[in-house]
């Protein structure tokens, strides 16, 4: 891939322009970029003055811009653009960045449709530029642990995979993420669903059939807030995926059942909570991504982990910093793109099929 114009040639840190400083930009992208060796957070784009002030307070050397026009006017000074703005802006901003000759990281979902994602992938390939999608939950502690267990054969042949990303938020917060306007690409199917589907595809490969139920349960809500997907993988594995804001009692995050044993894991990876609290990867004396032994999952057969059945399995540390380290390596050294646009398009194929299945009450064959 063609490198950008500044840092890759000089050996200086790659200069990053970050568009968007809401939850995604301020909690996830900015801290992870700043903590990555070889990357420098150069500019934050946000139209809100209070967020500009927040960015300067958190990163004293950062520049701010009120809109993307200001950023792209300085395209020659940048090495990478990260798009963490609302979903409906992802495609036009990514297109603009690629046409300006800049590699791009886009927060999930890359686009509203698989066709749009593949058009972006084509453009990036034509320009020989990196186009990567921020799927940080490939580096969740529980996902890394389950992936290792499967690779070791600890579960035998996996027959069924259950994944839950459930919350109890009985009152809507409002905003574009919960908007019923299709142009906003809101709702849990495309939000948390992007994560659980991506994880299932990484673990078990392509999907042949999709069945889904998407419900709006909360008074005043406009977009789906309680959604279920059943996927049939070409490998024969069945994935049952739940994303919900209306779950009063939370189920296990993962339950993977195989021919020899099962793995059950409760609780969420601690990295998001740490980032929200202002902790940063690499801080001196602070372990990153580790969890207490009491939260470890269990592997066993014929008994319930709720009553202590099975053997505790140490949870591998979560590693969100690995994503941006891989992006830096891809730009500097031609290392593999950690999450490709083609992979994001495959996830969107499933999400589009799920939306159709829920709407029409049918099972969709891909």
**Segment 164-187, tens digit of pLDDT:** 999 999 999 888 888 888 888 999
**What is the residue whose two structure tokens read 């040639």?**
9
Closest CA to 223 of 269, 265, 258, 189: 189
**Cβ atoms of residues 243 and 358 within 8 Å:** no
Per-residue pLDDT at 175: 85
Mean pLDDT of 285-292: 86
Q: What is the DSSP letter of 168?
A: B
Mean pLDDT of 342-356: 98
Query: Which region, left, alpha or beta, applies to residue 179 given φ > 0 means left and ψ of -120 to 50 means alpha?
Result: beta
Half-sphere exposure for 347 (CA within 13 Å, toward CB): 30
Neighbours of 295 (CB within 10 A): 15
> Residues 265, 270, 272, 276: is their CA dihedral positive or negative?
positive
Three-state secondary-structure class, residue 76:
helix
| pLDDT tens profile 87-98 | 999 999 999 999
Please tell me the chain's helix, strand, coil percentages from 3-state DSSP, rounded to the nearest 5.
40, 20, 40
Counted residue by residue, the chain has a size of 366
d(CA 13, CA 210): 44
Mean pLDDT of 263-277: 96
What are the b/e assignments for 120-149, b being 16+ CB within 10 Å?
Answer: bbebbeebebbbbbbbbbbbbbbbbbbeeb
> Residues 276, 277, 280, 286: is their CA dihedral positive or negative?
negative
Per-residue pLDDT at 239: 98
Per-residue pLDDT at 63: 97
Closest CA to 61 of 82, 86, 33: 33
Residue 8: band (very low, low, confident or very high) from pLDDT cuts 50, 70, 90 = low
**Cβ atoms of residues 98 and 127 within 8 Å:** yes
Closest CA to 213 of 358, 350, 354: 358
pLDDT for 365 beyond 50: yes
Residue 2: band (very low, low, confident or very high) from pLDDT cuts 50, 70, 90 = very low
The reported pTM is 0.94
Neighbours of 86 (CB within 10 A): 18
List of domains in the chain: 8-136+323-337 (3.40.50.720), 137-319+350-360 (3.30.360.10)
């Amino acid at each position: 891939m063609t490198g950008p114009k500044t840092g890759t040639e000089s050996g200086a840190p790659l200069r990053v322009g970050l568009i968007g400083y809401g939850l995604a930009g301020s909690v996830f992208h900015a801290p992870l970029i700043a903590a990555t060796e070889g990357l420098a957070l150069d500019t934050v784009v946000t139209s809100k003055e209070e967020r500009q002030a927040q960015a300067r307070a958190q990163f004293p050397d950062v520049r701010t811009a009120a809109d993307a026009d200001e950023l792209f006017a300085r395209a020659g000074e940048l090495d990478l653009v990260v798009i963490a703005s609302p979903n409906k802006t992802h495609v036009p901003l990514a297109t603009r960045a690629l046409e300006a000759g800049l590699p791009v990281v886009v927060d999930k979902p890359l686009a509203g449709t698989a066709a749009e994602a593949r058009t972006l992938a084509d453009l990036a390939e034509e320009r020989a530029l990196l186009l990567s999608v921020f799927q940080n939950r490939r580096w969740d502690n529980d996902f890394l642990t389950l992936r290792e267990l499967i690779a070791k054969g600890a579960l035998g042949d996996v027959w069924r995979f259950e994944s839950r990303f459930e919350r109890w938020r009985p009152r809507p917060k409002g905003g574009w993420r919960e908007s019923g306007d299709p142009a906003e690409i809101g709702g849990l199917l495309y939000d948390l669903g992007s994560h659980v589907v991506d994880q299932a595809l990484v673990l078990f490969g392509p999907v042949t059939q999709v069945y889904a139920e998407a419900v709006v349960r909360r008074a005043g809500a406009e977009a789906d807030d309680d959604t279920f997907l059943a996927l049939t993988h070409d490998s024969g594995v069945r994935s049952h995926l739940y994303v919900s804001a209306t779950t009063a009692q939370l189920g296990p995050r993962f339950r993977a059942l195989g021919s020899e044993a099962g793995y059950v894991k409760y609780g969420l990876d601690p990295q998001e909570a740490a980032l929200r609290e202002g902790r940063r990867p690499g801080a001196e004396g602070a372990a990153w991504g580790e969890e207490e032994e009491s939260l470890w999952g269990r592997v066993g057969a014929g008994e319930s982990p709720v009553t202590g059945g099975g053997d505790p399995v140490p949870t591998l540390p979560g590693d969100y910093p690995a994503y941006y380290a891989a992006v830096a390596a891809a730009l500097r050294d031609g290392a593999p793109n950690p999450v490709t646009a083609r992979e994001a398009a495959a996830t969107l194929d499933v999400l589009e099929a799920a939306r159709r299945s829920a709407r029409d009450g049918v099972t969709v064959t891909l």
